[in-house]
Structure 1
Amino acid sequence: MKKILLLSLLFILNSLNAQVLESPSKALKLNFQLTPNGKPSYSLTYKNKPVVLNSLLGVYLKGDSDLASNFKIDSIGMTTFNESWKPVLGEQSKIVNHYNQLTAALSQTGSKRRVNIIFKLYDEGLAFRYEFPKQQNLNYFIISDEKSEFNLAGNHKTFWIPGDFDSQEYAYNETLLSEVNSAKIDMNNGIGLKSIAGNFMVQSPLMMKSADNLYLNIFEAAVVNYPVMHLDLNPTTFALTSHLVPNAIGDKAYLQTPSVSPWRTIMVSDDARDIVSSKMILNLNEPSKIDDTSWIKPMKYVGIWWEMHVGKSTWDYAGSQNAQNTESRELIASGKHGATTANTKRYIDFAAKHGFDGVLVEGWNVGWEDWFGNWKEDVFDFTTPYPDYDLAEINAYAKSKGVKMIMHHETSGSVANYERHLDRALELMKKYGYPAAKSGYVGRIIPRGEFHDGQTMVNHFNFVARRFADYKMMVNSHESSRPTGYHRTYPNYIAAEAARGNEFNAWSVGNPPMHETILPFTRLLGGPMDYTPGIFEIKMSVYDKNKKEQVHTTLAKQLALYVTMYSPLQMAADLPENYEKYPDAFQFIKDVAADWDDSNYLEAEPGDYLTVARKAKGKEEWFLGAITDENARKTKINLSFLTPGKKYKAVIYQDGKTAHWEKNPINYEIITKTVTYKDFIQLNLAAGGGTAISFTPIN
């Protein structure tokens, strides 16, 4: 269903006072006007509270000219739009897209160049973008900078990570805006590649809370043929300004008219649940360009992966580039290689026994011995297996067991090499019936001098999704730029990492207990995250008594993450033998859905806690996940989301009485009771803990 209503006719103006646009509920109000010297500016209020003070907009071109001043308004157009659409995979079966729009058509005195600034005002926030129409005086052009300002109304509490052009894999800092400073944080964090452009630069999405309890989030949507936006902060005035990631020679974006920038977004509400449940980023992306989406399906998988992180096995076959016969140059097996035919069959058997869809195998292909850190271009060919990995035999065995294999493509950051080999890699996947691949981009990018977040790499990540779609295959990217809703346009872009994932707990200072309570307010606003939850052996000393590292959650919280961290691609990340130690807890991972008809965010506070209930796609089954930070928490949950007139068996997986993320993380208990929509459930979350519940109808 779609409805477009013209609110006012376009009209020609030479000068104009402030234009006002209200959201459908009228809670949000935008003011747009030109300054006396023709600079576009805007401000935003929520329920009459200032959110963004008067802020300038504009784009700067290479060659000392700009599209930021000396404008006059040619016309103003206002429309309203209301539709509902069905995502292929998602948190809900139907999404409403309802906003009011203001389009300011501007022309520049002297140059006669034209720019349109488009504002969309939703009930949960504002979006705006620059549109460059086809015109005589602007064809090919190079953007040297974009100066979109967000002059905030106060010194808000902020959840931030440094403005790193190559990595988002940081734990969040919780400070006031005035206290943001990357120079003051500990960089001994396990991140191998850092490209931080300034101490007062932060990444978006930037989640904030004001002193008068407004929740704000600054982000972007539909980043296509454009670099990622970071934010420069003035910690004295609380002003933020867009900072585009440059390419190897310092340019930001190469464009040709007609073209558009990504949407810049400002979400705001007095209820944190409105932020975390928002579909505004998705709505700002184009509808699916894939006509037949029947092959795009959710998957739960296991894989040869965690055992490398905990040191049980290795990705490489030989152990080092010197472990080879000096005459034949053939690699000599180290005996620790994880991706062997026999080991893969063990995982396939486990997946088949417990009903998992797929098995991922990392380290299956030649090239792992010497690539990391060497900035080599031609490392992997994505088609040649190690001698102890029989592609044909493994795939025939998986097929006989009803299990799909998930391909792994580690590019080593050599994007040029990956693109050269991509079609041959996809043909190999097609030959053996792979439905999906996990791609990786660890290390410095080739072409050399490019950043993970630059225009070149944004185009690459989107190109790979499109090319996979040509082969009717899904892709899950790791170490990519963070998603901004492109999976609406190409829903085969099923998931991504693009944040600090669970693996950091195995070999670094790890992820603090509050980490997973922040990600749904930041990284997950742009798309599903392959966080790889489900670690049951919390302390790494189980593998080596000298190890101090551990996962910073309880076991029960690892279960809850399957509900709170949305992804249609979910991994049971621990080793099969660890799940066999705790079969009663493992049952929840086997039962939980990965695609949903409905989602209800029951409680939310960034950095503190989150509780969400979801209804499985096409079933009368509900699942609830509740997580907390380092503080223990008690709360009573209303079950009114359940269907009236039905009884449900509730299986509650909760922290035990002595559970604690650090002192006693594997202490849990399982309770079963009968409930209806009229009931309440008391949740008792340990420090760093959580609760997971399955609700199955009783016939």
Structure 2
Amino acid sequence: MKFRILSLTFVALIVSACTSKEFVLEATSPNSDISVQFNLDKEAQAFYITNFKSEVVIDTSYLGFEFTNASPLKNDLKILNSQISTFNDTWQMPWGEQLDVVNNYNELKIELQESKSPNRKFNIVFKVYNDGIGFRYEFPEQENFTEALIADEHTQFNLTQDYKAFWQPGDWDIYEHLYSTTKLSEINALSYVGHVNLAQTYIPENAVNTPVTLVGDNGIHLSFHEAALVDYSDMTLKVDTENLSFTSNLVGSENTEYKVRRTLPFHTPWRTVQITDNAPALIESNLIVNLNEPNKLGDVSWFKPMKYTGVWWEMHLDKSSWDYGMELVDGQWKDTGKAHRRHGATTENVKRFIDFSAENNIGGVLVEGWNTGWERWIGFEDREGVFDFITPYPDYDIDEVTRYAKEKGVQIIMHHETSAATETYTKQQDTAFALMQHYGMNAVKTGYVGKILPKGEYHHGQYMVNHYNNTVEKAAKYQVAINAHEPIKATGLRRTYPNTISREGLRGQEFNAWAEDGGNPPEHLPIVAFTRMLAGPIDFTPGIFNIKFDEYKKNNQVNTTLAQQLALYVVIYSPVQMAADLVEHYEANPEAFQFIKDVGVDWETTKVINGVVGDYVTIARKERNSGNWFVGGITDENSRTLTLDFSFLDADANYTATIYKDGVNAHWDENPLDLEITTTTTIDAQTELVINLAEGGGFAISLIKN
């Protein structure tokens, strides 16, 4: 069902300056819990205030811009018009955490103009939802203002208490930092400078990346982010620890004085604040996707959500390598017949993964290291032209592999590591995507490890935002879906371009295999679920069964129990979920692997049963078409006991439940493989179940409808 209600109220105002006592524009959420007030102060500078259940959560916060080609745009403003409208619609996700999405908000649009020369005009638009607010700037076409060279955007978020903050630094080049948990007043992003585990990093000041989530003493939860990031720079938030404030700080470039260059007319991305009084509501919010434009691609049924295996984890364990072992001869890289025999992407090895996937309800196989170039990109300053994305190594027969995969009903997932050489990749995309189309490959994992080329650009600046988005649009023409690593952050564009299926954009599983600081601590994912996951799907690569991997790396391990690795297939959302471990480790534990075989990847409904940011979370998801439910719960380094209420199940149905939970002696470090599996046929909507989670542990439940 779709319906739309629009009611318009126009107020014509000619105001040179006013105070909040003289005039206030206001919009409220449909349920009246959230309100936004807009006004001009005595200097005719625009500001807003946000309330939640009659309490001020964002106090007087100013709005404005600095330009390199013009004077600042922030004061001496007048309100020309205001417009209030109401919108209520329901749209469907072609794939996602749920099928139907309600898009219901009240909108306030304010048209502003400078009261002195050059009399520039711009609009501010607020959309107020039951789960938060979004607002953006719009610059209409006008004679005296044709191009904006934005030095910075000054959007303030002045907070009213010293919240507990879950944050990572405002790095212009990478999101692969651990999260810190401090008071807002204690944020120190510069303490992250010089991280040894990162291929690239640049942290210019005390700022945080988004999403950043705050929890107040009074139970108010706020999460700051942005939506619909198109042809603009990533917004970090500069922190004023003394005044408890965030101010937008755009990612720049070493090649220009400005951070954003736009020709009018244009609008900025939406600045978003999720506002709730409980942690689970943050995850259930659809604010970010709702603030994006509807699907522009039409039918995308050619992409099927899937689980996948692949040639990946074995390289991080040093069991095999990405490169084949070609040698530099007379200035050219050649196969001299002296390959080191550690290459992972061989025809034989990939067929082994294809066989395993076909036997175990797994739809895809990722192949990394299949194409030439891996010998010569790490450590080389000029990486342009290193990879060509169509030429396989001598021991990888792409014709035979794709033929065999098709015969087995398995799709090969392409891999394009660009080495951050963007010009090379841009030039070859048509050829590379055409090759994929020829072989019937509908998904590619892209990578951008290293400093961006051309030099002086950063992963999160306007140049790269455009590169990432242009790649998605180009891929769609060839029916290719993008799973980006070292990406620009997710901002809900998967609604507009549903071939944007997943991305990394966080400190992933691989850090457990090679990081020098001990890998991801047990608290990492209970924080990620309420921060990074609010932005969109995560390709985290769960499912490591060999937790200690002593035969490969005695000093590294995964810092969870086996039960938590199973739970992640439900807790951490992605329409592509990797069974990341080695085939032999799954074959050695078929009882635990049964959950990975059974669990869905595409959902009709999602319910967050409980959770506390940074501590624990339990999520239930109903699979599309089958009617089966799957539940996953994880905890941090603390053990805990949870009572599960199954009232989310269909009221008149019974389910056979298989429960995978921590054994009585389980512990993420001391005994991570202690797993207890039980089956019961008596679960229904009236059932309550008490489950104990070990330190760093979790549980997973499959609920198959009888």
Amino acid at match of 1:330: D
Q: 1:339 aligns with which of 331, 335, 345?
A: 345
For 1:187 and 1:669, locate their aligned partners in 2 and report how far apart those are by CA, in whole Å.
42
One-letter identity of the residue aligned with 2:5 = I
Matched, 1:478 2:479: no
SS of 2:437's partner is: helix
Asked whether the equivalents of residues 539 and 551 of structure 1 are also in contact (C-alpha less than 8 Å), the reply is: yes
> Matched residues in 2 for 1:45 and 1:630: separation?
35
- Structure 1 spans left out of the alignment, 5+ residues: none
SS of match in other structure, 2:495: helix
Report the residue type matching 2:704 in the other structure: T
| Offset, 1:7 | 4.5
User: 1:57 is paired with a residue of what secondary structure?
Assistant: strand
Q: In the aligned structure 1, how far is the partner of 2:193 from the partner of 2:455?
A: 28
Query: For the Cα contact (< 8 Å) 2:172–2:251, is it kept in 1?
Result: yes
Distance in 2 (CA, whole Å) between partners of 1:329 and 1:557 is 45
Aligned match of 1:12: 13
Alignment of 1:522 onto 2:531: yes
Q: Which amino acid is 2:4 matched to?
A: K
Aligned-partner SS, 2:376? coil
**CA-to-aligned-CA distance 1:249-298 (integer Å, 9 cap, x gap):** 23211111111000001111111111111110000000000122221220
| Deviation sequence 1:619-671 (CA, Å, 0-9, x none) | 22000001111100101111111111211101000001000111111110101
What's the CA shift string for 1:414-441, capped at 9, x where partnerless? 0111000111101111111111110000
Aligned residue in 1 for 2:72: 66
1:235-261 superposed Cα distances (whole Å, 9 cap, x missing partner) = 111111000011232321111111100
The one-letter code matched in structure 2 to 1:125 is G
- What is the DSSP-based 3-state SS (H/G/I as helix, E as strand, rest coil) of the residue aligned with 1:26? coil
Quote the Cα distance in structure 1 between the aligned partners of 2:52 and 2:243. Answer: 20
Matched letter for residue 525 of structure 2: E
1:595-606 → structure 2 map (5 Å cutoff):
595-606=602-613
Are residue 89 (structure 1) and residue 95 (structure 2) matched? Answer: yes
Question: Counterpart of 1:694?
Answer: 702
Residue aligning to 1:555: 562
Map of 1:397 onto structure 2 = 404
Alignment match, 1:438? 445
- Listed as ranges, the matches of 1:260-409 within 5 Å are 260-318=267-325, 329-331=334-336, 332-375=338-381, 376-409=383-416
Which has the larger displacement, 403-412 or 266-275?
266-275
For the Cα contact (< 8 Å) 1:600–1:612, is it kept in 2?
yes
Q: Which residue of 1 aligns with 2:674?
A: 667
> Which SS does the other structure have where 2:151 is aligned?
strand
2:57 corresponds to: 51
Aligned pair in 2 of structure 1 residues 681, 298: CA closer, same or farther (>3 Å)?
same
- Counterpart Cα distance in 1 of 2:604 and 2:61: 40
* Contact 1:482 1:499 (C-alpha < 8 Å) held by counterparts: no
Structure 1 position 214, deviation (Å): 0.8
Query: Of 434, 438, 462, which residue of structure 1 is paired with 2:469?
Result: 462
Between the aligned partners of 2:162 and 2:699, the Cα distance in structure 1 is 34
The answer on 1:532 being equivalent to 2:537 is no
SS at match of 1:409: strand
Q: Of the candidates 644, 666, 684, which is equivalent to residue 692 of structure 2? A: 684
CA distance in 1, matches of 2:158, 2:257: 26
* Aligned equivalents of 1:678, 1:239: Cα separation in 2: 46
Counterpart pick for 1:493 among 497, 500, 510? 500
- Which residue pairs with 1:502 in the alignment? 509
Q: Aligned-pair distance for 1:188?
A: 4.8
Q: Is the 8 A contact 1:344 1:394 kept in 2?
A: yes
Q: State, as a whole percentage, how many aligned pairs show the same letter.
A: 45
- Structure 1 distance, partners of 2:447, 2:460, is 14
Aligned partner letter, 2:539: D
Q: Report the 3-state secondary structure (helix = DSSP H, G, I; strand = E; otherwise coil) of the residue aligned with 1:417.
A: helix
Please tell me whether the aligned partners of residues 101 and 120 of structure 1 are also in contact (alpha carbons under 8 angstroms).
yes
Please name the residue that 1:156 is paired with: 163
- Asked if the contact 2:644/2:689 (under 8 Å) is kept, the reply is yes
Deviation at residue 527 of structure 1 after TM alignment:
1.4
**Could you say if the C-alpha distance between residues 637 and 189 of structure 1 is closer, same or farther in structure 2, counting changes exceeding 3 Å?**
farther
Judging changes above 3 Å, is the alpha-carbon distance between structure 1 residues 64 and 11 closer, same or farther for their aligned structure 2 residues?
closer
Q: Which amino acid aligns with 2:699?
A: T
* CA distance in 2: counterparts of 1:542 and 1:582, whole angstroms: 17
Contact persistence 1:373–1:443 (CA under 8 A): no
SS in 2 for 1:612: strand
Find the residue that maps to 2:502 and give its secondary structure. strand
Equivalent position of 2:3 in the other structure: 2
- Deviation of 1:195 after TM superposition, in Å, equals 0.7
Aligned mates of 2:314, 2:183 — CA distance in 1: 39
Q: Partner of 1:443: helix, strand, or coil?
A: coil
Q: Give the C-alpha shift of residue 606 in structure 1.
A: 0.9
How far residue 189 of structure 1 moved from its aligned partner, in angstroms, is 5.5
Name the residue aligned to 2:636.
629
Alignment-derived partner of residue 235 in structure 1 = 241
Measured on the aligned residues, the alpha-carbon RMSD in Å equals 1.5
SS in 2 for 1:285: coil
Separation (CA, whole Å) in 1 of partners of 2:389 and 2:173: 23
What is the number of residues matched between the two proteins? Answer: 693
Contact kept, 8 Å, 1:67 with 1:115, in 2: the verdict is: no
Q: Secondary structure at the match of 1:488?
A: coil
Question: Is contact 1:6–1:78 with CA below 8 Å preserved after alignment?
Answer: yes
Q: Deviations over 1:519-569 (max 9, x none)?
A: 12221222111010000111131324xx21111111100000000111111
Aligned to 1:119: 126
Counterparts of 1:661 and 1:191 in 2: how far apart (Å)?
25
Q: Which amino acid aligns with 1:560?
A: A
The answer to whether 1:224 aligns with 2:224 is: no
> Once the 2 structures are TM-superposed, how far is the Cα of residue 327 of structure 1 from its aligned partner?
9.8
Query: In the alignment, does 2:417 pair up with 1:410?
Result: yes
Task: Give the drift of 1:160.
Answer: 0.7
Once the two structures are superposed, residues 462-497 of structure 1 have per-residue CA deviations (whole angstroms, 9 ceiling, x without a partner) of 111111110111110000111100110000111111
Offset at residue 4 of structure 1 (A): 3.0
Report the alpha carbon displacement of residue 216 of structure 1 after superposing the two structures with TM: 0.7
| Contact 1:88–1:296 (Cα < 8 Å) also in 2 | no
Residue of structure 1 in register with 2:111 after alignment: 105
Query: Structure 2: how far apart are the matches of 1:442 and 1:59?
Result: 33
- The alpha-carbon distance between structure 1 residues 524 and 328, as it changes in their structure 2 partners (threshold 3 A), is closer
Quote the Cα distance in structure 2 between the aligned partners of 1:215 and 1:592. 31
- Residue aligned with 1:487, SS: coil
**Aligned ranges 1:170-249 → 2 under 5 Å:** 170-184=177-191, 188=195, 190-198=197-205, 200-247=206-253, 248-249=255-256
Q: Tell me, what secondary structure is at the counterpart of 1:542?
A: coil
Equivalent residue for 1:80? 86
Report the Cα distance in structure 1 between the residues aligned to 2:569 and 2:340, rounded to whole angstroms: 36
* Cα 1:329–1:402 shift into 2, 3 Å: closer
Q: C-alpha separation between the residues in 2 aligned to 1:415 and 1:683?
A: 49
**TM-superposition CA deviations, 1:559-604 (whole Å, max 9, x none):** 0000011111110000000001110000100100000000111102
The answer to whether the 8 A contact 1:170-1:189 is kept is no
Structure 1 SS opposite 2:526: helix
Worse-superposed segment, 12-21 or 647-656: 12-21
Please, what TM-score do these two structures have when normalized by structure 2? 0.96
